[in-house]
Amino acid sequence: MAEDRLKNQIFALERWRNNLAESIRQFESWLKSSGMATPEMDLRIHNAIEMIKSDRLTIAFVAEFSRGKTELINAIFFSDYKRRLLPSTVGRTTMCPTELFYDHGAPYAYIRLLPIETRRLETSLSDLKLDISRWTTLPLDINAPSQMAEMLQEVVKAKKVSVDEARSLGLYDESLNQNNEPPKDVEVPVWRHALISFPHPLLKQGLVILDTPGLNALGTEPELTLNMLPAAQAIVFVLAPDTGVTRSDLDIWRYCISAAVDPAHPEGVIAALNKIDTLWDEMMTDAEIDAAIEKQRQSTAEMLGISPSHVLPVSAQKALLAKAKQDPVLLARSRILTLESLLADEIVPAKQRIIGDKVLGEISTMVKQSGELLSSRYGKVQSHLENLRSASSRNSTVVKHLTQKTREQQISYNNNMKHLQSARRAMAQQTAAVMNELSIEAFDYLVAKTRKDMTESWTTGGLKGGMRTFFDGLAETIQVVSRVTNQTYDLAEEVYKKFHVDLGLPELSYPRFSIDAYKTQIDKLAQGAEEFRNSPVTTMTEQSFVVKKFFISLVSHARQVYFKAHSEADTWLKDLMTPLVSQIHMHKQLLEQHLDTLCKINETRESLAKNIAQLEQQCAQLNSQLSALHKISEQLQIAMPDIEKVAPLAIPDPATTSATETTTVP
């Protein structure tokens, strides 16, 4: 059915994740059975599987108050319950940002609430999520709808506090005191953030729903804008169809959403003109109503600068009612299925591509390297086998010639090893330089300096200058890391080429280290910080609170970016020479085996036949391993139908492969 399309796509995404993880596990088993596994490869595979398992599909709903966000969430995801799962009534509803997900590690459903007073702490929201003691946790009885509904009412609660207390929380609008006497008290949310773990089938499959209430919450919690919204695969911006894009809507769009959108994936933003049922006027024809809605849709698209196909009129309330009563006519008129289809056809596949790009880029490199190493070994064993078969029917002069050729290869090998040791010492220096640049100590030094400069200068220019200095320092580090890693790669490439020319080993096929993704993240943080400084809410907030929130939000996120860059660079530097070291080790073993065989070749015909049989068995085993790896490669290709394919691994032909070293005998 059409209304099940989004649900089916989310279930299909989870099945795809499981199939992809299983294919990677098969590759892991293949590495162990073929004796090619290394601790570094085990770690990379473990990280890839963990990333697949922990990955989530996040859809964020953003709007000013009373736009019907929560009702839209109920209509799209929770209509099976034939009632409003989340509180949605006239006037203000959700007062604090709310995340809905499923906690697989918890024994029961719950709502976890963070007191608004934690805004005074010098701790980021992401860090507070790790400290359960700061939260109030209430169990949800999924078999008692009334109890559950009562508990979920917590997200709409507000309370009155003094002006001084509201100011200390960064929740007092100073503009209210420009011409009038300050109010006696101010209404603030009871809770700062809510986490709801609920065993809904879609949430169990990895769906996360983020409900964000209004410009005030977005403006005073920069982590939402800098961290959480950019991490969402889709942002549904809910607007009113009668007013269109208001001034406050435009502020949310400009300072919160547009800064969070990835320019490479603008399809992740959808504008929903909710409550179109308010335009259902019995004094107008259906054609006139549709024309009015279409005019508003085009106008909204033009104001936001997005495609009209991503501006969708809906009625969440009528959609929920239609699904509860199973009324197909009302459901069609609510237009909710158009929105669900867009999420299903664009957002879910986009999420699949993102996972594929991250995971398969890593795994396909390992598959390719393993195939090259095995192909090289196969070719060399075949070469030795052909030489041995040829020598078995000839005299001792031929054997002596082959022995001499093998010893010359050993000498060449030893000379190349001296060159390798020298190159690895140079690369160790390069590695130390990269790790020093990306060290947490260097990052913390820059943070301390920036904090000192900003604290000592309370002017707007001083604050902006401090932010600019901070990001300039990060940009300089990125440039240094990019330059040094490129130099390291060029050095490794020279070593690979020398071993390719002298010993016939494969050339370097490992990708260069790219810091572009981290540069993009830092640039977006810089842009987000500028938007945060210029946002309407920030300009009405006390400067000391602005500085504190800037450091809590931005520094925490930038530190995470640094940590990931440090970890990835460290792994890349360690893995860069791993294929060559494995190839050299294998080459040395084959040389020693070949020389030992030639030395024994004159003993007896029986001994010679035995050595030939052993080499034939090795060839068969390698052939079988290559076939198994080829099947794994094909499975990875099938898993990613819309993404660049993993190159198939052909079983090499000893007569044509460049790795083959057939020695010509006189």
C-alpha 386, offset from chain centre: 49
Does residue 657 surpass a pLDDT of 60? Answer: no
The predicted pLDDT at position 394 comes to: 54
The predicted pLDDT at position 133 comes to: 94
The predicted pLDDT at position 8 comes to: 87
Distance CA 316, CA 76 (A): 8
Confidence of residue 541 (pLDDT cuts 50, 70, 90): low
Does residue 450 surpass a pLDDT of 70? Answer: yes
- On whether the CB atoms of residues 355 and 54 are closer than 8 A, the answer is no
- The mean pLDDT value for 305-323 works out to 93
Cβ count within 10 A of residue 407: 13
The predicted pLDDT at position 219 comes to: 65
Confidence of residue 604 (pLDDT cuts 50, 70, 90): low
Does residue 660 surpass a pLDDT of 90? Answer: no
Dump pLDDT digits (tens) for 191-244: 999 999 999 888 998 899 999 887 766 667 777 877 788 888 899 999 998 888
Confidence of residue 442 (pLDDT cuts 50, 70, 90): confident
- The mean pLDDT value for 564-590 works out to 82
HEC string of 205-254 equals CCEEEEEEEHHHHHHHCHHHHHHHHHHCCEEEEEEECCCECCHHHHHHHH
The predicted pLDDT at position 238 comes to: 94
Does residue 532 surpass a pLDDT of 70? Answer: no
Q: Give residues with Cβ within 8 angstroms of 121, minimum separation 6.
A: 128
- The mean pLDDT value for 410-415 works out to 71
The predicted pLDDT at position 639 comes to: 67
The region of weakest confidence among 299-303, 318-322, 584-588 is: 584-588
Confidence of residue 412 (pLDDT cuts 50, 70, 90): confident
Confidence of residue 3 (pLDDT cuts 50, 70, 90): low
- The mean pLDDT value for 604-631 works out to 81
The region of weakest confidence among 310-319, 527-536, 570-579 is: 527-536
User: Which DSSP state fits 169?
Assistant: T
Q: Is 123 strand, coil or helix?
A: coil
User: CB-based burial of residue 171 (10 Å sphere; 0-12 exposed, 13-18 middle, 19+ buried)?
Assistant: buried
The predicted pLDDT at position 536 comes to: 64
Dump pLDDT digits (tens) for 29-64: 999 998 888 887 888 899 889 888 888 899 999 988
The predicted pLDDT at position 237 comes to: 94
Q: What percent of the chain has pLDDT over 90?
A: 19
User: CA torsion sign, 560 to 566 to 571 to 576?
Assistant: positive
φ, ψ of residue 139 in degrees (nearest 5): -70, 145
User: CB-based burial of residue 319 (10 Å sphere; 0-12 exposed, 13-18 middle, 19+ buried)?
Assistant: buried
The predicted pLDDT at position 653 comes to: 43
Dump pLDDT digits (tens) for 263-301: 666 678 999 999 999 888 877 888 988 898 999 999 999
- The mean pLDDT value for 448-458 works out to 74
Segment 214-218 long-range contacts (CB within 8 Å, at least 24 positions apart): 214/63, 214/64, 214/65, 214/252, 215/64, 215/248, 215/251, 215/252, 215/256, 215/536, 215/537, 216/171, 216/537, 217/95, 217/96, 217/97, 217/189, 218/62, 218/252, 218/255, 218/256, 218/537
Confidence of residue 520 (pLDDT cuts 50, 70, 90): confident
Q: What pairing do the DSSP bridges indicate for beta strands 98-101 and 57-63?
A: unpaired
The predicted pLDDT at position 418 comes to: 77
The predicted pLDDT at position 537 comes to: 61
The predicted pLDDT at position 296 comes to: 92
φ, ψ of residue 113 in degrees (nearest 5): -120, 135
Does residue 666 surpass a pLDDT of 50? Answer: no
Does residue 396 surpass a pLDDT of 70? Answer: no
Dump pLDDT digits (tens) for 157-204: 899 999 888 888 888 766 656 566 777 888 889 999 999 999 988 899
Distance CA 304, CA 276 (A): 19
Instruction: Report which of residues 638 and 241 the model is more confident about.
Output: 241
The region of weakest confidence among 313-322, 400-409, 488-497, 537-546 is: 537-546
Please provide the average confidence, as pLDDT, over all residues in the chain. Answer: 81
Instruction: Report which of residues 8 and 406 the model is more confident about.
Output: 8
